[in-house]
Every structure is written in structure tokens, then in C-alpha cells.
Structure 1
Amino acid sequence: MLAARRFVPSLALLTAFEAAARTSSVTAAAKELALTQSAVSRQIKMLEEQLGVELFRRQRQTIRLTGGGEAYAREIREALRKISAASLTVRTNPLGGTLNLAILPTFGTRWLALRLPGFLNSNPGITINLVTKLSPFDFRLEPIDAAIHFGSAEWPGGDLTLLRSETVIPACSPELRADCRFRKPADLRKVPLLHLTTRPKAWEQWFAMNGEPAQILPRMLFDQFATASQAAIAGMGVALLPQFLIEDELATGKLVAALDLPMTSSESYYLAWPQERENHPPLVAFRTWLVAETAADR
């Protein structure tokens, strides 16, 4: 580790390089950093000498990244972003009680957000930062401590604990149900079926469960539940939606079950985290609370 530090340039050199790489101009970088052009040029030259690599090609008054410089700039930009995020985190919560949590958007807004105040009130020293992620990612490349995951019990390089299962129903507007007078599963084939891109086989599974042969189904594609549910409310078709995420719409009559044929999803909700964060105190507290909060739904 000590030997490797010889190859770690100072933050001042890296900042000057990143600004010049991003703006393609020493002048613009100097203005952004409130330095002189000669100071920025000197810092870039020092960085090149330390690395033993030419990062820019100089042509009269312009600079252009070399191939190696371009790759290095991408890595350094991401590293500076992480340093900035870490600095902001420790500044806003100097006790270190911060949990960076990736959430699924509808689960986060419709279920988790309603319950988070209870957790925060019970754990006043913890701050939770939320970021939306629609699919699994590499924890090694993201400054995230844990993630809400829907799918199978798998996350490369991570551990998981089961949170809850879900039941989906074919939901539509009351006007569409009244107009179409659905009586049996096959009747739904007469209207557009609203599909979620993250669950491409959900409708086929629902029809198969109800004795209908699998076949190509007319579809509209949506990447989020919120958009699909709004399309269903507007009468654009029938959507397979998790019942626990549309309780308000069902209670107010904005959505109704096209047919009373619910289906338990083959996949479930999990909390995932990188193995090295297993004992991170805010994660331990949040995991314990979340498992207890979802116990009745398992």
C-alpha cells in the first residue's frame, strides 16, 4: 500500500487535469479553478511527469486528450465524484450514521417513503440518502450501501435477505371494465395489455395460470409501475400491477380488477448489500427494522 501511494497524484493535480480534460481548454480550466493558465499548465505537466505518460497533445493554443489521457480522465472524473459525495456525506452527518440506499421507484414512493419517518424517529443519528436504480448493479462501482431488489435471490458479490412477496392483479379503469364486460381470461386479449419491461413474461404467466395457451400478446411497454398504472387509470388497457402498490387507487375506484384472478409473483422483494458492508451500523439498524416491518407480508 505504501509503495502504491507513490503513484497517487495530489488532488490539486487531478482537479486541474480533470477540468482541462472536460473543457478541452487550459484557459477554461484556469477560470473554473480560479488559477492562472500557467499554474494549470504546470500542474498538468507535473502530473504527466509523475505518471510517465503524455495525457494531452498540444497544438498551438489548443489541447487534445491522448488515448491514455481520455481513459484516465473518465476514471479520475468518477473518483472525484465519489470523493465529493463522501465529503458531502461526512459534512452533513459527521457521526458517520449515513446509509446510501438504492430503491425501486414505485416501491420507494408508495411503500417505503410512508414508513421511513418511523425508522428515522427511532434512529435519530442516521441519515438515509436515496437513489433510484431499476436493475442490479455492481456495488464495487457505486457508493451505495444497500439496495431494494425485486427478482430472484441473487445479487453478484452481495448478500440478500427476503422482505416480502407480492400479489398482482389485472387492473384497469372502471369505465374500461364496464365497456368490455370481461367474463373470462381470454376476454382480456381484446384490449391492449400493458407490459412492464422489467417483467416481460408476467402476462404469459398469468394466462398460463388461468388455463390460456401462451401466445404473442398485443402490448404496450412501460419501464415503471407508476406510468403503467396511470395508463390503466386513463383507460388505455389492462395492467398487471402489485396489489399492495395500488391500494389507494383501488380504494378510491380509480382502478378496479378487470377479473378477480390474482396471481402470486414468482419473484420477491429483497434487501441486498455488499458483503464488506455487512456490519455497517446504519445498515444493521435499517435491515433489522425493514425485516420486522415486512414480516407480516412474507
Structure 2
Amino acid sequence: MSTPRRLLPSLSSLRALEALDRLGSATAVAEELSLTQSAVSRQLQAFEHQMGLDLILRDGRRLTLTPAAQKYAGDVRQALEQIAQASLRLRIAPDGGTLNLAILPTFGMRWLVPRLPEFARLYPQITVNMNTRLQRFSFASEGFDAALHYGQADWPGTGHLLLRHEHLLPVCAPSLVRDRSALTPKDLLRMPLLHIETRPDAWADWFRAQDVALTGSLTGPLYDQFSTITQAAQHGLGVALMPDYLVEQDLARGHLVALHGAPTEAHGAYYLVWPLEKAQDPALLRFRDWLATQAEPEDPLPR
């Protein structure tokens, strides 16, 4: 279906509109786009004329967007990012194609990256681009070919490959406990608990797995990454519930101590996830088939 030309503004007008929404002033827009303020104003006027709408609020020399234009700019921002990413892939695309992968920062660095040299040796013609993401995202809006995802295999419209289960262990600084051999799981309720943003129910699930009844909410400071919560635990700020593979070295060196003997399997696991419409992409197929040979959930991670 052919889109009417009047609904396809020039890229220069769209860039000026998006930048004004993001930066808040015509002066900043002009500096970012290497234009004069007059040129920016002309681009915005041309956009208004093409749309047949008043979208710019003018107060002297100050320019702001109407609420409708602000919403439009947010939608356009995603489209401009996709165009930029597609253009970059076109410029650097090797003969074997590219794979744009979203990764979890800690698991990606500790599990995937040490294995990638083998993939590069087997498929030197394929380029793997990686971006870290902590929260869920939309494949449609961000244009990733696949993602390393933690949780349940429940993304609609996707396929998945199980990579590894996660086993959790409560740990803290040695200075925080005198006799950890006498501690029971219930005793941990009286200690400061550290929480990880991506696992909001981890402590509640762990206590239930230990048959400890909870009578209220579990409070405590919240951290966004495992690297920061590990540092907090090492400095005695509380007890962290950590994947066992991430604290092996700290336990061996005495920086942390475990407060429970055996790791407990978490409800979630690590997966490779991909949108179904890209399931037959040649680069993704090769990467997925290779990764299946690495997906041994109980295999120790490389150090």
C-alpha cells in the first residue's frame, strides 16, 4: 500500500521536531544539528504546513511543542532510531550478515562473551552486535534479532532456547554474622535484606522454598545490577540472594560467606529469545544452532 506523500515529512523536519522535544530550545537544536536557528525554524514551519496543523508554540524567540506534537515526537524518535540502526547495519554488514543481540549485562559478560571466540572462529563472516538491556523491551520497536532473557519463556510471538537454570544462595560479609552455622532460614528475616531490581520476588520465593511463612512485605534497599548488590553485600550492608556462579570467587576468597548450605533453584531461567518473523534468518539460525551446543544448564560457567 502506497503511503500519501503528505504523511511522509522530510527527515530534516522530523529531526528538528524530535530534537526540540528532547532538548527544549531552538538554540540547542541548532547546535546539535549544526544549523542556524533560522534554518531550524524554517524546517518546523515547513512541517506544520505539510501537516496542516499548528504544532509549535511560539513565545517570542522561544519554541515549544504542543501536547499532540510531543506525543508525535516520541513516536518519531523510535522510528528515527530504527532508521539509524538499519543504516548502520547496511554500511557494516558483512557477507554472512549481522546479528543484533540484546544481552543482560552480567550474564552476557560472564556466560556468553567467554564463549563467543569459538563462534567467531566457526563463523567469521557473521558480525554479532550486542547491547545491554535490564528490562523487557519490544522487538518491534528496538529491532533486535534476538535477546538473552531471564524469566519464564512467556514472550508472545517468540521462540526460545533454554540456556541455563539459575540457583540462588544467600550471602553476606563475614563481619555481619558471628556463628552462621547456627542460623536457620527463618533467622534471615531479622537481617537486612538486599534486593535486586530484576528479581523483585526472589526473596519471597526463596523463603517459601525453605517453608518459612511470611507475615508481611520484605523491605530493604534495591539495586539495579548484580555488580552493585555484590559490593553492598561485601561491605556489610545486608544479605544478598545471589546466583551461585556469580559469587564462587568471592566465597573462595572469603569476601562473602554463604548463609545456607545448598543453592535453591529459582523460578526463572536464562533463555535465548527471538521474534518468530526472524526465526529463519541465516545468521540467527547459525547462532542459535551453535548456542544450543553451549546450553548446558548445569555446566559450570567459564572463569
| TM-score category (smaller protein) | 0.7 to 0.9
Amino acid at match of 1:250: L
Alignment coverage as a number of residue pairs: 298
**1:293 and 2:300 are equivalent in the alignment:** no
Give percent identity, aligned residues only: 47
Is contact 1:111-1:245 (8 Å) kept?
A: no
SS in 1 for 2:222: strand
Runs of at least 4 residues of structure 1 off by over 6 A? none
The one-letter amino acid of 2:210's match is: N
Once the two structures are TM-superposed, the CA of residue 100 in structure 1 deviates from its matched residue by 1.9
Give the equivalent residue in structure 1 for 2:160. Answer: 160
1:50/1:121 CA distance change after superposition, 3 Å: same
Query: Residue 188 of structure 1 aligns with which residue?
Result: 188
Shift in Å at residue 87 of structure 1? 1.9
Q: Which runs of 5+ in 2 are unaligned?
A: none
1:125–1:177 CA distance, 2 compared to 1 (3 A): farther
Partners of 1:32 and 1:190 lie apart in 2 by 53
Distance 1:196 1:57, change over 3 A: closer
1:222 aligns with 2:223: yes
Superposition RMSD in Å:
2.9
1:251 correspondence with 2:252: yes
After TM superposition, give the deviation of residue 293 of structure 1 in Å. 0.6
Within 5 Å, which residues of 2 pair with 1:74-89? 74-89=74-89
Please tell me whether the aligned partners of residues 157 and 276 of structure 2 are also in contact (alpha carbons under 8 angstroms): yes
Is the 2:162–2:295 contact (alpha carbons within 8 Å) kept by the matching residues of 1?
A: no
What is the one-letter code of the residue matched to 1:93?
Answer: A
Report 1:82-97 matches (<5 A): 82-95=82-95, 97=97
Mapped to 1, the partners of 2:28 and 2:219 lie a distance apart of 53
Task: Quote the Cα distance in structure 1 between the aligned partners of 2:3 and 2:269.
Answer: 46
Change (3 A) 1:238 1:54: same
Using structure 2 for the length normalisation, give the TM-score: 0.83
**Deviation, structure 1 residue 132:** 2.1
TM-score by length of 1: 0.84
1:260 corresponds to which residue? 261
Query: What do the CA deviations read for 1:57-107 (whole angstroms, capped 9, x no partner)?
Result: 445544332333322222223322222222223323354722222222221
Which deviates more, 79-88 or 56-65? 56-65
Contact 1:182/1:258 (<8 A) preserved: no
- 41 and 124 in structure 1: CA distance in 2 versus 1, 3 angstrom threshold: same
CA distance in 1, matches of 2:215, 2:237: 21
Task: Work out the CA distance in 1 between the residues paired with 2:32 and 2:135.
Answer: 36
